[in-house]
Amino acid sequence: MRDPRPPVGVPVPRVDGVAKVTGAAKYAVDVAVDNMLHAAVVRADRAHAWIRGFGRDEALARPGCVAVITGEDVAARLYPRFGHIIPDHPILAIDRVRYYGEPIALVLAETPAQAADAAQLVRVQYEDLPSVMDASAALDPDAPLLHPEPYDLTGSALAAAVPGGPLTREGPAEADITRTNVAHEATVGWGDVDAALDTAYLVVETTTDYPMLYAYAMEPYNALAEFRDGLLDVTTSAQHPFMVQRDLARVFDLPLSKVRVRVPFVGGGYGSKSYTKIEPLTAVGAWFAERPVKLVLDVESAIYTTRTDSAHISVRTGFTEDGRIVARDFDVTLDTGAYADNSPLVLDKAINRCFGPYRIPHLRVRGRAVYTNTSPASSYRGFGAFQGNLAGETNVDQAAQQLGIDPVALRRLNLVDQGETFIRGRRPMDAQLAEDLDILAERVGALDATPAPDGKLRARGVGCSASDAGAIPTSTAQVRVLADGSVLLLTGSSELGQGSRTVLTQIASAELGVDMSCISVLGSDTFGSSFERTTGASRTTTLVGLAVQRACEDAVRRLRDIVAEVCDVSADDVTVGDGEFRVGDVALSFGDAISRWFGSGGGEITGLGVVRRAGDLTQLPPFWEIGMVGVALAIDPETGVVDVERLVTVGDVGFAINPHGVEGQDLGAATQGLGGALFEELHYDGPQIVNANVVEYRVPRITDRPHEIDAVLVERRDGPGPYGAKGAGEGALNPIGSAVASAVARATGVWPDRLPLTPERVWRLLNQQRPS
């Protein structure tokens, strides 16, 4: 492992800071081209219905309206669906709608106002079908089936489980979606859970519900698509341009080399912009109209594009008298909405993350993702961890109460050690969890509820989590050393605000000895960037960072070779310095080397770095992302309002390339966690969401922030990334819900079983009524 040197480890200013504070930074929504048409989406106003016909004439008669496109139009000429795991998602509904808000027609006009006006005049004839608005209705044997036709699973499809045998983690099971509404099933476990629970000293049972959330990336989904010279060119606000490229290539039957997906700055992602969303819809418009098409969604239609998986999770845990876990038995049901999107993967992760980083001799986790006639659910920050953590960690706190053991001590007793395998077949724990917990506990202080003269109820809660993060370790990077020795860094990472461009520039600067001011990182672009599988799963610093390091090594090696050739010495006689080489007394800068070798007129040398699932990265996950949080709450007993007086986060990150960047990510993650814990919930009433706007869907505001924030970074250099780095950005969200719930339980004497803990719900707990 290389030793870090500046600028890594230094909280240098963001490389995109000036662009963003001057308004010069371009997001996809800011991009326009000449001759552009504007699109508006006609959306279904039924939860489940056959489409029997359309009336387009009134819309087409409106000034400026150029086209009205339906799913039948698309299906007649193109591959009409997308979906990177199950391609179940029609670009436009074809024969039926499966959720209120589903896109059913695309209207194109010369201006956005004309498109919106015309869209209101598209007439639709429906024949209603019975609908299932929650998972239990969808699982009823008589429930209508949302997907009675099979789909060919894509390459990301999952291996079949071993049928009939003991519940071992061979891989998730393929669900038969043509006979039930189960989109995906997954199990993990070992040992004999039933026998262990039968003989346990104490069995504690907990059931929790985590609501549907909306990620609320403040830049709404938008895309600009154009066909030009046989090429499809799409600019979009997306996290994974290379994954979007794949879906688009399939829709239009184009080779990847004829599909360009560009991502400038992204105004927030948080997992909600993972994989394909409205790009095929926009591109279909451009294809039919033979003109560029721009589509920009608003908040309501964004909520009807992607929400998060809600979860109903039950757990039974068996303990010995002194508090050791002997068995955990989880049942996980995710409501994935009308289309699978990323939810099968969310389920795969949820089953690994719900039982916590504990030593568990007997484990059984059974999970299912269920189709319902609601907005499609997909990934969000935490990715299945926070839903399961609510159940698993409040269960541990309840056990502590029943056993009469301190909740921190109970956790400490059961946390796995560094180097210990706690999920069979997975990388052993790479972090020192007990030490992290000690730091957390010391900063949080005693958890018990204390009376206070101001009449408020005060109590604290802690939570911990470990996530199999990093996704798949596939990443490439290119370092182009230009004729004057300055550097272009090509990466397919998307800058979502997490600071990827800054961190990767810091790494390249340290590795090459070239000042950051001489390095440019280009926006991700499937044409110009180097292949990057995904931006998410807290993987960029660790895995893309490694690719950048390797690309720098490769560039230096190539440059050293040409110096040797130019100076007619062997490569061993060439020593490498900062941005330069030495041969004896002679110094040659990178630029000197290039111009000597190419001759006058310039040239360049490119280094390539490749990371893939081999060597040290064969075993998954590439690293464990740790969550260790604590909250101190003050509750007003008359109103139920919860005030967060203190927030403690411990970021076990291996090495912080940019410490301020990591702290910002931890606080941002924890704040979203507090949103889910205290404020946020999408409500369905009949077929539709009643609070699909940011007034009634309440996200944290400036006045909600904790009075004191204690963000700790722990750097033990124990990760696989550059200088021992590991990923961050989601860990601080995952245990917030359970930490808040446990604190509320300590204060009120009643265990909450659902979030968010709004004032009404807290008041009801205090007054011994069941929360609504």
Partner 1 sequence: MKQTIRTTVNDQQVEIAITSRTLLAEALRENLGLTGTKLSCGMQVCGVCTVLVDGQPVSSCTYLAIDADGRTVETVEGLAVDGQLHPLQQAFIDTFGLQCGFCTPGFLMTAKALLDENPSPSTHEIEEHLEGNLCRCTGYESIVKAVELAAARTSQGPRDA
Instruction: Lay out the sheet containing 96-97: strands in order across.
Output: 96-97, 49-55, 123-128
Whether residue 736 contacts residue 463, with contact meaning beta carbons closer than 8 Å, is answered with yes
The Cα 524–Cα 273 span in angstroms is: 14
Query: Among all chains, which residue has been given the structure tokens 């124990």?
Result: 718
Task: Write b or e for each residue in 52-81: b if 16 or more Cβ atoms lie within 10 A of its Cβ, otherwise e.
Answer: eebebeebbebeebbbbbbbebbbeebbbb
Q: Is 16 in the site for partner 1 (CB under 8 A)?
A: yes
Stretch that binds partner 1, among 281-289, 467-475, 495-503, 575-583 (CB under 8 A): 495-503
Q: Is 667 in the site for partner 1 (CB under 8 A)?
A: yes
Q: Is 690 in the site for partner 1 (CB under 8 A)?
A: no
Q: Is 63 in the site for partner 1 (CB under 8 A)?
A: no
Give whichever of 301 and 317 is closer to partner 1, judged by the CB atom.
301
Interactions with partner 1, residue window 294-323 (CB under 8 A): 298-299
Least separation in angstroms between CB 22 and partner 1: 6
Q: Does the N-terminal peptide bond of residue 141 adopt cis geometry, omega within 30 degrees of 0?
A: no
Q: Is 5 in the site for partner 1 (CB under 8 A)?
A: no
Give whichever of 32 and 409 is closer to partner 1, judged by the CB atom.
32
Q: Is 544 in the site for partner 1 (CB under 8 A)?
A: no
Least separation in angstroms between CB 740 and partner 1: 15
Contact with partner 1 (CB under 8 A): which of 245, 378, 498, 505?
498
Stretch that binds partner 1, among 95-103, 173-181, 268-276, 505-513 (CB under 8 A): 268-276
Give whichever of 299 and 712 is closer to partner 1, judged by the CB atom.
299
Closest CA to 487 of 587, 605, 566: 605
Least separation in angstroms between CB 214 and partner 1: 10
Give whichever of 146 and 521 is closer to partner 1, judged by the CB atom.
521
Q: Is 668 in the site for partner 1 (CB under 8 A)?
A: yes
What tokens does 121 get?
A: 């005049």
Least separation in angstroms between CB 231 and partner 1: 25
Contact with partner 1 (CB under 8 A): which of 2, 6, 26, 446?
26
Q: Is 496 in the site for partner 1 (CB under 8 A)?
A: yes
Q: Please report which helix (H) or strand (E) contains residue 479, including its range.
A: strand 475-481
The Cα 437–Cα 460 span in angstroms is: 15
Closest CA to 439 of 623, 649, 644: 649
Stretch that binds partner 1, among 157-165, 411-419, 539-547, 687-695 (CB under 8 A): 687-695
Read off the amino acid at residue 57. Answer: D
Give whichever of 48 and 240 is closer to partner 1, judged by the CB atom.
240
Give whichever of 83 and 499 is closer to partner 1, judged by the CB atom.
499
Q: Is 517 in the site for partner 1 (CB under 8 A)?
A: no
Least separation in angstroms between CB 20 and partner 1: 3
- Rounded to the nearest 5 degrees, what angle is found at the Cα of 127, between the Cα atoms of 124 and 128? 115
Read off the amino acid at residue 466. Answer: A
Whether residue 653 contacts residue 726, with contact meaning beta carbons closer than 8 Å, is answered with yes
Give whichever of 13 and 455 is closer to partner 1, judged by the CB atom.
13
Least separation in angstroms between CB 694 and partner 1: 5
Least separation in angstroms between CB 574 and partner 1: 39
Stretch that binds partner 1, among 84-92, 188-196, 223-231, 662-670 (CB under 8 A): 662-670
Contact with partner 1 (CB under 8 A): which of 90, 318, 609, 664?
664
Least separation in angstroms between CB 120 and partner 1: 15
Contact with partner 1 (CB under 8 A): which of 487, 644, 670, 757?
670
Contact with partner 1 (CB under 8 A): which of 22, 35, 600, 772?
22
Least separation in angstroms between CB 709 and partner 1: 6
Q: Please report which helix (H) or strand (E) contains residue 610, including its range.
A: strand 605-611
Stretch that binds partner 1, among 267-275, 283-291, 353-361, 405-413 (CB under 8 A): 267-275
Q: Is 493 in the site for partner 1 (CB under 8 A)?
A: no
Q: Give Cα separations from 693 to 54, 523, 584, 705 (angstroms).
A: 29, 31, 68, 21
Query: Among all chains, which residue has been given the structure tokens 């007034």?
Result: 695
Query: Among all chains, which residue has been given the structure tokens 């060919």?
Result: 152
Q: Is 270 in the site for partner 1 (CB under 8 A)?
A: yes
Q: Is 219 in the site for partner 1 (CB under 8 A)?
A: yes
CA dihedral 638, 641, 645, 651 (to 10 degrees): 150
- Compute how many residues bind partner 1; rule: CB under 8 A: 56
Least separation in angstroms between CB 544 and partner 1: 17
Whether residue 632 contacts residue 707, with contact meaning beta carbons closer than 8 Å, is answered with no
Q: Is 217 in the site for partner 1 (CB under 8 A)?
A: yes
The Cα 197–Cα 204 span in angstroms is: 10
414 contacts: CB under 8 Å, gap ≥ 6: 323, 324, 325, 358, 359
Q: Is 1 in the site for partner 1 (CB under 8 A)?
A: no
Whether residue 766 contacts residue 744, with contact meaning beta carbons closer than 8 Å, is answered with no
Read off the amino acid at residue 551. Answer: A
Least separation in angstroms between CB 216 and partner 1: 6
Stretch that binds partner 1, among 26-34, 605-613, 631-639, 714-722 (CB under 8 A): 26-34
Least separation in angstroms between CB 626 and partner 1: 19
CA dihedral 10, 12, 16, 20 (to 10 degrees): 130
Stretch that binds partner 1, among 145-153, 211-219, 326-334, 407-415 (CB under 8 A): 211-219
Q: Give Cα separations from 9 to 15, 395, 430, 590, 711 (angstroms).
A: 15, 38, 21, 25, 17
CA 271 to chain centroid, in Å, comes to 3
Contact with partner 1 (CB under 8 A): which of 705, 753, 759, 771?
705
> Strand, helix or coil at 633?
strand
Q: Is 35 in the site for partner 1 (CB under 8 A)?
A: no
Whether residue 93 contacts residue 103, with contact meaning beta carbons closer than 8 Å, is answered with yes
The Cα 32–Cα 362 span in angstroms is: 57
The Cα 292–Cα 227 span in angstroms is: 7
Contact with partner 1 (CB under 8 A): which of 1, 6, 21, 639?
21
Q: Is 120 in the site for partner 1 (CB under 8 A)?
A: no
Least separation in angstroms between CB 296 and partner 1: 8
Contact with partner 1 (CB under 8 A): which of 206, 505, 671, 734?
671
CA 8 to chain centroid, in Å, comes to 25
Read off the amino acid at residue 635. Answer: I
400 contacts: CB under 8 Å, gap ≥ 6: 323, 406, 407, 409, 410
Number of H helices, E strands in the chain: 19, 33
Q: Is 25 in the site for partner 1 (CB under 8 A)?
A: yes
Contact with partner 1 (CB under 8 A): which of 242, 252, 265, 358?
265
Give whichever of 20 and 613 is closer to partner 1, judged by the CB atom.
20
Q: Please report which helix (H) or strand (E) contains residue 402, including its range.
A: helix 385-403
Residues lying near partner 1 in the complex (CB under 8 A) are found at 11, 13-14, 16-27, 29-30, 32, 113, 216-220, 265-270, 298-299, 496-499, 660-661, 663-665, 667-668, 670-672, 693-695, 699-703, 705, 709
